[in-house]
Amino acid sequence: MIDDLTAAREQMELSLSFHIVFAVLGVGMPWLMLAAEWRGLRTGDARWTALAKRWSKAVAVLFAVGAVSGTVLSIEFGVLWPAFMARFGSAIGLSFTLESFAFFIEAIFLALYLYGWKRLSPRVHLLTAVPVAVGGMASALFVTTANAWMNGPVGLVAGPGGGLVATDALGPFRAPTAGAQMVHMGLAALMCTGLAVAAVYAFAMLRDPARRDGYHRRGLAAGAVLGLVSAPLQVLVGDWATRVVADVQPAKFAAMESLPRTMDGAPFHAGPFEIPNALSLLLHFDPNARVVGMDAIAAPDRPPVSVVHWSFQIMAGIGTALVALAAWALWLHLRHRRGRRHGRNVPHPTARRGFLLAMVVAGPAPFVALLAGWVVTEVGRQPWIVYRVMRVPEALTTQTGLASYLYVTAVVYLVLAVALVAILRRIARGATPPDPAPMAAARDEVPA
């Protein structure tokens, strides 16, 4: 049996990982659904409308799983870390209060969207998707501010009992990492969704060339545009987030960069390579600038280095690879478009097996990066639950036997994940609308 602290940590990690993977899809999918329905309405192309309908089923299932797994988290905070919640529940309260309203809005309008296809006019129906998309994104961003507060607590003053008391309701929004974390999380949700959706259609086209039709191309294009446009933006935001961490949480930064000693002219690690002076240059725009290393952190306050370092490398590596994929996709698309304009026969990007294969591989990649990023921010904060204010063991419940909770949670989530994937595959199957007849198709092929 593992000890209670480890069990509680693992349980938190398991529930958060499960929730985040399905929740990002619940956050991103409504935007795709909205875009597809809008294009269907504007162009009269039945294939876009069919995609919107198909995606709305996936959103319904993902939203339900996201809602119940999110409930587990909000109650688990108390069951596992009652001392943390008793002291700082009100400090992060506004984040969650706003999140609950965003969630209400999302649930109410998602019901209207899902069950209102025949009861609302097409225009009103389309409009109901807007609060779903905005509410979903807002709820994710609000919750992220609570995590930002744990990374950089603000608004605390010494209370009458000697302990620190939260006095600023807006504390989570004023936390130094809040801005970078929110944008980073929001883009991550869009990237994961876009590339996961694109991978589904790329896989179908790869397996069955007959499926390289307008419906599947549109599905792939919508996902690829969302995911691949987010990728380069995400690299820039990641750079911003890293600078904020270097300023606010030097211990986390030293672990990310695996910097044992404070030094002038620090090298930059990229996988197995080490580039001299590059870290100083990147961080301070001066190759000889001083970068704080782990030796500046008191031994009991140091996070585990190798987990954080390698997770960071994995995340950054995947991000870079996806930017390369975005560049390739853009090049293929532009070449195809130019070729068609000049009457040359340049194949559509989806006619290339290599490109389809790359899109299939790129489906799970941002999820790996997402989880790695969470490992960086959560493990990099250790040993603190609230940075420099409360250590994780101080927050732990006095309840024992937490390992059995962990095992039950693991079994339940495993069963749910298997069933969920089976249902999503079932939703993806089924008849798809054919391409229009040749004459209409010719008009359809005019570049947009």
207 Cβ contact partners less than 8 Å away, ≥ 6 residues apart = none
Which residues share a beta bridge with 273?
A: 270
State which of positions 133-192 bind another protein (CB under 8 A): 165-170
CB of 421 to another protein, least distance (A): 11
- The verdict on 77 binding another protein (CB under 8 A) reads yes
> Of these, 213, 346, 427, 435, which contacts another protein (CB under 8 A)?
427
CB of 255 to another protein, least distance (A): 30
Whole-number Å distance between alpha carbons of 341 and 51 = 28
Indicate the residue among 327 and 408 with the shorter CB distance to another protein: 408
240 Cβ contact partners less than 8 Å away, ≥ 6 residues apart = 180, 183
Indicate the residue among 22 and 384 with the shorter CB distance to another protein: 22
Measure Cα distances from 402 to 13, 385, 406, 426 in Å: 14, 18, 6, 36
Contact segment (CB under 8 A) with another protein among 74-82, 265-273, 349-357, 369-377 equals 74-82
Indicate the residue among 105 and 323 with the shorter CB distance to another protein: 105
- The verdict on 422 binding another protein (CB under 8 A) reads yes
CB of 243 to another protein, least distance (A): 31
The tokens of 200 are what?
């589904």
Contact segment (CB under 8 A) with another protein among 185-193, 342-350, 368-376, 419-427 equals 419-427
- The verdict on 97 binding another protein (CB under 8 A) reads yes
Please list the alpha-helical segments (H only) found in 89-210.
93-115, 122-151, 171-174, 178-207
Whole-number Å distance between alpha carbons of 256 and 125 = 46
Contact segment (CB under 8 A) with another protein among 262-270, 343-351, 366-374, 393-401 equals 393-401
CB of 137 to another protein, least distance (A): 17
CB of 350 to another protein, least distance (A): 23
- The verdict on 88 binding another protein (CB under 8 A) reads yes
- The verdict on 423 binding another protein (CB under 8 A) reads yes
Question: What 3-state DSSP class applies to 392?
Answer: helix
Instruction: Tell me if 247 sits within 8 A of 176, measured CB to CB.
Output: yes
Question: What 3-state DSSP class applies to 273?
Answer: strand
The tokens of 300 are what?
């009991």
Whole-number Å distance between alpha carbons of 218 and 398 = 54
CB of 102 to another protein, least distance (A): 9
Tell me which DSSP letter residue 446 carries.
Answer: S
Indicate the residue among 22 and 253 with the shorter CB distance to another protein: 22
Instruction: Tell me if 155 sits within 8 A of 168, measured CB to CB.
Output: yes
Question: What 3-state DSSP class applies to 274?
Answer: strand
- The verdict on 323 binding another protein (CB under 8 A) reads no
State which of positions 14-73 bind another protein (CB under 8 A): 53-54, 57, 60-61, 63-65, 67-72
Instruction: Tell me if 264 sits within 8 A of 292, measured CB to CB.
Output: no
- The verdict on 405 binding another protein (CB under 8 A) reads yes
How far from chain centre, in Å, is Cα 16? 12
State which of positions 102-121 bind another protein (CB under 8 A): 103-105, 107-112, 114-116, 119-120
Tell me which DSSP letter residue 397 carries.
Answer: -
- The verdict on 94 binding another protein (CB under 8 A) reads yes
State which of positions 181-240 bind another protein (CB under 8 A): none
Contact segment (CB under 8 A) with another protein among 227-235, 292-300, 351-359, 397-405 equals 397-405
- The verdict on 96 binding another protein (CB under 8 A) reads yes
Whole-number Å distance between alpha carbons of 160 and 154 = 18
Output the DSSP codes for 138-169.
HHHHHHHHHHHHHHS--SEEE-TTSSEEE--T
- The verdict on 246 binding another protein (CB under 8 A) reads no
For residue 321, give the nearest of 221, 235, 391 by alpha carbon.
235
Whole-number Å distance between alpha carbons of 285 and 235 = 18
With CB under 8 A, what is the number of residues at the site for another protein?
Answer: 72
State which of positions 259-278 bind another protein (CB under 8 A): none
> Of these, 430, 437, 439, 447, which contacts another protein (CB under 8 A)?
430
Indicate the residue among 53 and 335 with the shorter CB distance to another protein: 53
**Continuous segment of H or E residues that includes residue 291:** strand 290-291
Indicate the residue among 321 and 420 with the shorter CB distance to another protein: 420
CB of 63 to another protein, least distance (A): 7
> Of these, 5, 14, 83, 134, which contacts another protein (CB under 8 A)?
83
